[in-house]
């Protein structure tokens, strides 16, 4: 525990403390960076927690406006049905009802579909196209559909009334004349010939069909290989279950012609831009406010139809309109996550060296395409942490009659990590290799960095084997046999699962920071990210405080109001600290430069004679100093406020990585799975606040484990009806079904950005699906169980035990 | 899901047949039926209130008879919309057999629900549908032979909707 940069919950670490050496930093930038490297890494408790746990948060539903009305949605009970007509007369005659609006009204008013831009656009994202290379048809997303309902729960009309209860009652009186159509909800079935078409424009439902990698080289390597191992996995559909259901309050001001929207999201700037296009107005005529947000995980990054509906309706009726989803509506119509079928093949030589890989990935986007991020992100990482010289991938996306999917915590990466880590495990089992040795033999090594993988992703840095060693130590891998025997004495089956991971963090490239030294002795920082529990108000304040050397209590972070925050990519893809941290560092450097200029003038000296130390500008060789706040005050009249604004764009991705180990205890009588221990090592690059990073890792683990153990958006394929509409049917990770985690942060500094940051929000989730399932399979290996689907519920485990028992008995007789 | 049931009714088949074609009798026997209007020929409009798990809903819909082979069998079908609760539809093939001057009524019923009913009550639907079907035919049987206490359901374990939650 020598270095202040070394953060670990257990007292050991794998930190590497070399600084990146990007050329051409200004003296101020170097100063800022050195200051940051001296001071960050303190586990400061979060500034926002006091407010949030005493009911003083400002969540969207907390806002109310005079004369406010309420919206209720009329939702389709059918997975696929043509809308022949909508009779609103009885609803309109109901008490308190002000308006009933349908898709036809929306067309009459000229509203545009939500411009989701689902195809990832940075130059490092894998390029996805329609079959043959064309521009894919992604399905227009109008606020209300005009032709058909394409999934159960799709809003087909909206009722506005004086009270929420009146709106809900009247919504029942809207009669929609539906013509039921054949439907398809299953990922694989939707891509089969003859499946019902969700869109007439795409008769086979497959709207993305792209291939990557070296097909001929891969085929040659497979032909020459000693061994080939194949597997197919379905990573099922889950939903984010934010503790705060989505909510929006829209208001149109007739006098100013401006709309205002209170709606928590993953980034107000994006919401403003896209909703302005839907309404056909100038972006300046829409103000979006997004303050405290009770959970996002990706589900809130994209625009929801209800956000546009309250704005449109408020103009039509001339009063503010509020809509807050019920928990049932959240289960049904929050943007959902995952749902990928992946077929993978691995070619190995006699010694276990990986030679080539093939993958065929099929992503279920639901009734229309909101985002291809999961398919794209995963496509670039199919080879995982391993050096596989050649690979090829076919990536397809398919429409189905289900709710739309969107990036969900660690978009696309847990899926491919699950595939490669289970495939490697299967190879070890079938070919007789030790599962850890097989991994070690094929890991990408530090001397290969930066490493270009077989599908073109460039891994920036990392020490994968060191992560692995450290995780094995943390989990006391060597002591497993003793624990296993102890559990066996109690009739329980102990199993352990391991997974390496590497993921990419790209994210929206633009970010802007504004820093101002205020007259009241505080520092105001305006930034375009949007926390939903990540603690930006603390960690960002920490960064700025350290860089301009003022006490952290003096720094205030301003977020979430598009009248103040003009640019910002929001919070997703592990981008916030890297993008915001970097642009805040640049802005701090600009601020210090301006400060030096003003100090030089103040002392009547040369710019070069001014130093900055401990929050004071100092005239070199004298004892004359002035602190940054006094300088701001003294020069305000002549030079204006001491204030800077800085824009930055960063496209280069980073690759957080690590290793995780899970131990489970299975009761063979009931199939119940208990997680007894969980250990991780996560290389997040430079770590700003280890307390917050650990918190992120813990939440991330729970979210990944949740999918492996309990969570599933079950749909009855024959009727197309979602079956998990409440917490009765959708199992969640909770504090009482999670162990205490052993987490450690490794800091291998990324050379791609001045602060050396990678990302820390998703690493907990990425390997968790694989570690849990590998552990459960390990516990059941004496029963001959080699495969099991997620979630590994007691019933699934019990069935696996008894099925394999039955098969063995059948073979024996 | 198929539900099956069988009743022995101490009344002649023609008597039972007349009863299951009597709108008044149907209205009184359909559990939760508030109104049933219309005719055998054109079908009926019905209003039925029922509760499945946490969802209580009033369904408005059509009840129709088809495949009518007097006095032996018909298919009774219903489809109802329960507003925000969703929809339910179902039907039963009803068969009457004459055995020693008494009647054996057998039915095979199907039920399907959608919307909130499916999202919240799916684990309860099979058992609820079975209960409702049993109530309906038990009332009919009781009406057919009100004086005879011997009327009882013949034990029918056929395709029990056993613990469907277990299979998910």
Q: How many CB atoms lie within 10 A of CB A2?
A: 8
Q: What angle do CA A340, A343, A348 make, to 5 degrees?
A: 140
B167 chain-A contacts, CB cut-off 8 A: 795
Mean of pLDDT values over A451-479 = 96
Residue B141's pLDDT is 82
Largest Cα–Cα separation, chain A: 100
Distance CA A774, CA A43 (A): 33
Helix A536-548 to helix A27-39 angle (10° resolution) is 120
Looking at the DSSP bridge assignments, the partners of residue A286 are A259
User: Is the torsion defined by CA of A498, A502, A508, A509 positive or negative?
Assistant: positive
Residue A37's pLDDT is 66
**A165, A71 contact by CB (below 8 A):** no
Helices (H), A70-178: 89-92, 103-108, 164-171
Residue of B84, B121, B164 for testing the chain A interface, max A β-carbons within 10 Å: B84
Mean of pLDDT values over A251-276 = 95
Residue B163 touches partner A, C-beta closer than 8 Å? no
pLDDT in tens, A684-741: 998 888 888 999 999 999 999 999 999 999 999 999 999 998 998 999 999 999 999 9
Task: Tell me how long chain A is.
Answer: 813
pTM: 0.89
Of residues A762 and B154, which shows the higher confidence score? A762
The C-alpha of B166 sits at a distance from chain A's nearest C-alpha, in angstroms, of: 7
Residue A22's pLDDT is 45
Distance CA A12, CA A22 (A): 29
Q: What angle do CA A297, A300, A306 make, to 5 degrees?
A: 155
**Across A15-19, A219-223, A462-466, least confident range:** A15-19
Inter-chain CB proximity B122 and A723 less than 8 Å: yes
Task: Tell me how long chain B is.
Answer: 168
A168 chain-B contacts, CB cut-off 8 A: 84
**A316, A182 contact by CB (below 8 A):** no
Which stretch, A107-111, A131-135, A542-546, has highest mean pLDDT? A107-111
Residue A230 touches partner B, C-beta closer than 8 Å? no
The C-alpha of B112 sits at a distance from chain A's nearest C-alpha, in angstroms, of: 8
The C-alpha of B74 sits at a distance from chain A's nearest C-alpha, in angstroms, of: 25
HEC sequence for A692-708:
HHHHHHHHHHHHHHHHH
Distance CA A233, CA A19 (A): 41
Residue A717 touches partner B, C-beta closer than 8 Å? no
- One DSSP character per residue, B131-163 reads HHHHHHHHHHHHHHSTT-TT-EEPP--TT--TT
Which is nearest to A334 in space by CA: A271, A243, A415, A273?
Answer: A243
Q: How many CB atoms lie within 10 A of CB A107?
A: 12
The C-alpha of A310 sits at a distance from chain B's nearest C-alpha, in angstroms, of: 20
Distance CA B37, CA B58 (A): 16
Residue A706 touches partner B, C-beta closer than 8 Å? no
Inter-chain CB proximity B114 and A78 less than 8 Å: yes
The C-alpha of B123 sits at a distance from chain A's nearest C-alpha, in angstroms, of: 9
Distance CA A130, CA A133 (A): 5
Counts of helices then strands in chain A (DSSP H, E): 21, 30
Distance from the first to the final alpha carbon of chain B:
15
Residue A31's pLDDT is 72
Residue B79's pLDDT is 85
Of residues A391 and B2, which shows the higher confidence score? A391
A721 chain-B contacts, CB cut-off 8 A: 113-115, 118-119, 122
Inter-chain CB proximity B118 and A795 less than 8 Å: no
Computed over every residue of chain A, the mean pLDDT equals 92
User: Is the torsion defined by CA of A621, A624, A628, A631 positive or negative?
Assistant: negative
| Token pair in block for residue A755 | 């602060």
Mean of pLDDT values over B3-31 = 88
Q: What are phi and psi of A452, to 5 degrees?
A: -95, 115
Q: What are phi and psi of A437, to 5 degrees?
A: -65, -40
Helices (H), A215-362: 215-224, 268-279, 305-317, 327-333
Residue B147 touches partner A, C-beta closer than 8 Å? no
Inter-chain CB proximity B119 and A795 less than 8 Å: no
The set of residues, in sequence order, having a beta carbon less than 8 Å from that of A715 and lying 6+ positions away, is A185, A237, A402, A721, A722, A723
**A325, A306 contact by CB (below 8 A):** yes
- Can the peptide bond before residue B75 be classed as cis, meaning omega within 30 degrees of 0? no
Which residue of chain A is at minimal alpha-carbon distance from B58?
A172
Looking at the DSSP bridge assignments, the partners of residue A69 are A321
Helix A305-317 to helix A268-279 angle (10° resolution) is 50
The set of residues, in sequence order, having a beta carbon less than 8 Å from that of A520 and lying 6+ positions away, is none
Looking at the DSSP bridge assignments, the partners of residue A16 are A748
Which residue of chain A is at minimal alpha-carbon distance from B122?
A723
The C-alpha of A371 sits at a distance from chain B's nearest C-alpha, in angstroms, of: 25
Which stretch, A42-51, A133-142, A525-534, has highest mean pLDDT? A133-142
The C-alpha of B120 sits at a distance from chain A's nearest C-alpha, in angstroms, of: 5
B118 chain-A contacts, CB cut-off 8 A: 152, 716, 719, 721-723, 725
Partner residue facing A171 (CB), from B84, B114, B122: B84
Inter-chain CB proximity A724 and B112 less than 8 Å: no
Which residue of chain A is at minimal alpha-carbon distance from B118?
A723
Partner residue facing B118 (CB), from A75, A172, A722: A722
pLDDT in tens, A573-591: 778 888 888 899 899 999 9
The C-alpha of B113 sits at a distance from chain A's nearest C-alpha, in angstroms, of: 8
CA A6: distance to chain centroid? 26
Residue A39's pLDDT is 58
A720 chain-B contacts, CB cut-off 8 A: 114
- Can the peptide bond before residue A274 be classed as cis, meaning omega within 30 degrees of 0? no
A567 pLDDT band (50/70/90 cuts)?
confident
pLDDT in tens, A79-96: 999 999 999 999 999 999
- One DSSP character per residue, A17-71 reads -PPP--S---HHHHHHHHHHHHH----PPPTTHHHHHTT----GGG---TT-EEE
Inter-chain CB proximity B83 and A332 less than 8 Å: no
Inter-chain CB proximity B83 and A328 less than 8 Å: no
CA A427: distance to chain centroid? 30
The domains found in chain A, sorted by start residue, are: 60-181+245-293+300-333 (3.90.1170.50), 508-649 (3.30.365.10)
The set of residues, in sequence order, having a beta carbon less than 8 Å from that of A139 and lying 6+ positions away, is A198, A199, A201, A207, A367, A368, A369, A399
Residue A278's pLDDT is 98
Please count the residue pairs, one from chain A and one from chain B, whose beta carbons lie less than 8 angstroms apart. 57
B4 pLDDT band (50/70/90 cuts)?
confident
B168 chain-A contacts, CB cut-off 8 A: 714, 723, 795
Partner residue facing A721 (CB), from B84, B118, B167: B118
Partner residue facing B118 (CB), from A75, A723, A728: A723
Inter-chain CB proximity A332 and B120 less than 8 Å: no
Inter-chain CB proximity B118 and A719 less than 8 Å: yes
B112 chain-A contacts, CB cut-off 8 A: 719
User: Is the torsion defined by CA of A553, A556, A557, A561 positive or negative?
Assistant: positive
| Token pair in block for residue A177 | 């004349």
Residue B166's pLDDT is 37
A724 chain-B contacts, CB cut-off 8 A: 119
CA A272: distance to chain centroid? 20
- 69-108 in chain B: CB under 8 A from chain A: 83-84, 86-87
Residue B156 has pLDDT above 50, yes or no: no
Residue A172's pLDDT is 87
**Across A121-135, A240-254, A620-634, A685-699, least confident range:** A121-135
The C-alpha of A725 sits at a distance from chain B's nearest C-alpha, in angstroms, of: 4
Q: What percent of chain A has pLDDT over 70?
A: 95
Residue A135 has pLDDT above 70, yes or no: yes
- 10-69 in chain B: CB under 8 A from chain A: none
A323 pLDDT band (50/70/90 cuts)?
very high
- Can the peptide bond before residue B71 be classed as cis, meaning omega within 30 degrees of 0? yes
Partner residue facing A328 (CB), from B87, B112, B116: B116
Distance CA A496, CA A485 (A): 13
Residue B111's pLDDT is 81
Q: What angle do CA A599, A602, A606 make, to 5 degrees?
A: 65
- β-bridge pairing A390-399 and A206-213: antiparallel
Inter-chain CB proximity A714 and B168 less than 8 Å: yes
Of residues A510 and A388, which shows the higher confidence score? A388
DSSP three-state, residue A222: helix
Inter-chain CB proximity A716 and B120 less than 8 Å: no
The domains found in chain B, sorted by start residue, are: 2-161 (3.30.530.20)
The set of residues, in sequence order, having a beta carbon less than 8 Å from that of A226 and lying 6+ positions away, is A348, A349, A350
pLDDT in tens, A537-551: 888 898 899 889 999
A167 chain-B contacts, CB cut-off 8 A: none
Of residues B60 and A763, which shows the higher confidence score? A763
Residue A13's pLDDT is 34
Helices (H), A434-575: 435-442, 464-474, 480-489, 536-548
The ipTM (two decimal places) reads 0.70
Which residue of chain A is at minimal alpha-carbon distance from B112?
A719
Residue A486 touches partner B, C-beta closer than 8 Å? no
B164 chain-A contacts, CB cut-off 8 A: none
Residue A361 has pLDDT above 70, yes or no: yes
Name residue, tokens 């589900």.
Answer: A299
Distance CA B40, CA A424 (A): 67
A728 chain-B contacts, CB cut-off 8 A: 120, 123
Inter-chain CB proximity B119 and A77 less than 8 Å: no
Q: What percent of chain A has pLDDT over 90?
A: 79
Looking at the DSSP bridge assignments, the partners of residue B57 are B50
The set of residues, in sequence order, having a beta carbon less than 8 Å from that of A376 and lying 6+ positions away, is A119, A120, A125, A126, A128, A395, A412
DSSP three-state, residue A485: helix
pLDDT in tens, A12-46: 333 333 333 444 567 777 777 776 666 567 777 88
């Amino acid at each position: 525990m020598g270095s202040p940069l070394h953060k670990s919950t257990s007292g050991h670490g794998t930190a590497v403390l070399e600084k990146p050496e990007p050329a051409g930093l200004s003296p101020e930038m170097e100063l800022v960076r050195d200051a940051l490297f001296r001071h960050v890494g303190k586990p400061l408790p979060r500034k926002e927690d006091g407010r949030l746990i005493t009911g003083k948060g400002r969540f969207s539903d907390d806002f109310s406006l005079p004369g406010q009305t309420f919206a209720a949605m009329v939702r389709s009970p059918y997975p696929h049905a043509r809308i022949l007509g909508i009779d609103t007369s009885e609803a309109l005659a109901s008490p308190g009802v002000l308006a009933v609006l349908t898709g036809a009204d929306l067309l009459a008013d000229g509203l545009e579909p939500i411009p989701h831009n689902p195809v990832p656009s940075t130059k490092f994202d894998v390029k996805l196209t329609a079959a043959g290379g064309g521009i894919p048809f992604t399905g227009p997303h109008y606020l209300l559909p005009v032709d058909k309902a394409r999934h159960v729960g799709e809003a087909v009309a909206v009722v506005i009334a004086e009270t929420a209860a009146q709106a809900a009652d009247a919504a029942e009186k809207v009669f929609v004349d539906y013509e039921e159509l054949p439907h398809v909800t299953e990922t694989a079935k939707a891509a089969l010939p003859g499946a019902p078409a969700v869109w007439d424009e795409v008769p086979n439902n497959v709207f993305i069909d792209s291939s990557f990698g070296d097909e001929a080289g891969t085929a040659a390597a497979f032909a020459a290989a000693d061994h080939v191992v194949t597997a197919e996995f379905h990573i099922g559909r889950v939903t984010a279950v934010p503790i705060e259901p989505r909510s929006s309050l829209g208001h149109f001001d007739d006098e100013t012609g401006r709309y205002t929207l209170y709606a928590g999201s993953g980034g107000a700037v994006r919401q403003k831009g896209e909703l302005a296009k839907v309404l056909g107005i100038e972006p300046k005529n829409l103000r979006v406010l997004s303050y405290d947000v009770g959970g996002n995980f990706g589900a809130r990054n994209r625009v929801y139809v209800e956000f546009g509906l309250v704005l449109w309706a408020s103009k039509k009726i001339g009063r503010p309109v509020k809509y807050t989803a019920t928990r049932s509506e959240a289960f049904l119509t929050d943007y959902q996550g995952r749902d990928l079928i992946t077929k993978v093949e691995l070619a190995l030589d006699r010694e276990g060296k990986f030679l080539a890989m093939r993958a065929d990935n099929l992503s279920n986007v639901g009734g229309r395409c909101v985002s291809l991020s999961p398919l794209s992100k995963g496509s670039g990482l199919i080879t995982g942490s391993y050096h596989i010289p050649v690979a090829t991938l076919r990536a397809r996306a398919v429409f189905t009659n289900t709710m739309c999917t969107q990036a969900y915590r660690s978009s696309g990466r847990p899926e491919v990590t699950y595939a490669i880590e289970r495939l490697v495990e299967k190879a070890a089992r079938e070919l007789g290799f030790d599962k850890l040795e097989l991994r070690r033999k094929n890991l990408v090594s530090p001397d290969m960095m930066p490493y270009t993988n077989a599908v073109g992703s460039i891994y920036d840095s990392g020490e994968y084997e060191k992560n692995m060693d450290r995780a094995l130590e943390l989990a006391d891998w060597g002591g497993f046999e003793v624990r296993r025997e102890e559990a066996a004495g109690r009739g329980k089956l102990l199993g352990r699962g391991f997974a390496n991971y590497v993921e990419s963090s790209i994210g929206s490239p633009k970010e802007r920071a504004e820093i101002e030294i205020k007259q009241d002795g505080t520092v105001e920082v305006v930034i375009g990210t949007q926390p939903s529990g990540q603690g930006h108000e603390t960690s960002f304040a920490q960064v700025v405080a350290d860089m301009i050397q003022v006490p952290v209590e003096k720094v205030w972070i301003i977020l979430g109001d598009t009248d103040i925050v003009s640019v910002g990519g929001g919070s997703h893809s592990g981008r916030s600290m890297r993008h915001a941290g970097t642009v805040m560092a640049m802005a701090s450097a600009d601020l210090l430069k301006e400060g030096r200029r003003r100090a030089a003038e103040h002392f009547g000296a040369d710019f070069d004679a001014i130093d900055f130390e401990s929050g004071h500008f100092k005239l070199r060789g004298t004892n004359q100093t002035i602190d940054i706040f006094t300088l701001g005050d003294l020069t305000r009249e002549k030079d204006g406020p001491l204030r800077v604004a800085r824009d930055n764009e960063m496209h280069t991705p980073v690759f957080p990585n690590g290793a995780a180990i899970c131990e489970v205890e299975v009761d063979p009588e009931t199939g119940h799975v208990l997680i007894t221990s969980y250990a991780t090592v996560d290389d997040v690059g430079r770590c700003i606040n280890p307390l917050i990073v650990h918190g992120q890792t813990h939440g991330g683990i729970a979210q990944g484990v949740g999918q492996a153990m309990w969570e599933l958006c079950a749909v009855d394929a024959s009727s197309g009806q979602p079956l998990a509409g409440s917490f009765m049917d959708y199992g969640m990770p909770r504090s009482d079904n999670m162990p205490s985690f052993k987490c450690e942060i490794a800091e291998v500094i990324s050379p791609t950005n001045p602060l050396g940051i990678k990302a820390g929000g998703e690493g907990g989730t990425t390997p968790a699906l694989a570690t849990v399932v590998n552990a459960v399979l390990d516990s059941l290996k004496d029963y001959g169980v080699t495969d099991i689907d997620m979630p590994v519920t007691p019933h699934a485990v019990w069935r696996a035990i008894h099925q394999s028992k039955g098969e063995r008995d059948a073979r024996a007789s | 899901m198929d539900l099956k049931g069988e009743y022995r009714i101490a009344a002649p088949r023609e008597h039972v047949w007349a009863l299951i074609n009597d709108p008044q009798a149907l209205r009184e026997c359909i559990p939760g039926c508030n109104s049933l209007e219309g005719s055998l020929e054109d079908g009926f409009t019905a209003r039925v209130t029922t509760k499945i798990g946490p969802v209580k809903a009033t369904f408005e819909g059509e009840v129709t008879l088809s495949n009518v082979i007097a006095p032996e069998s018909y298919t009774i079908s219903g489809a109802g919309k329960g507003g925000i609760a969703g929809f339910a539809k179902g039907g039963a093939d009803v068969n009457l057999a004459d055995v020693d001057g008494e009647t054996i009524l057998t039915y095979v019923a199907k039920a399907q629900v959608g919307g909130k009913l499916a999202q919240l009550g799916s684990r309860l639907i099979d058992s609820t549908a079975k209960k409702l079907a049993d109530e309906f035919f038990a009332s009919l049987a009781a009406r057919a032979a009100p004086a005879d206490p011997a009327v009882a359901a013949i034990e029918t374990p056929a395709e029990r909707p056993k613990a469907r939650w277990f299979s998910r």
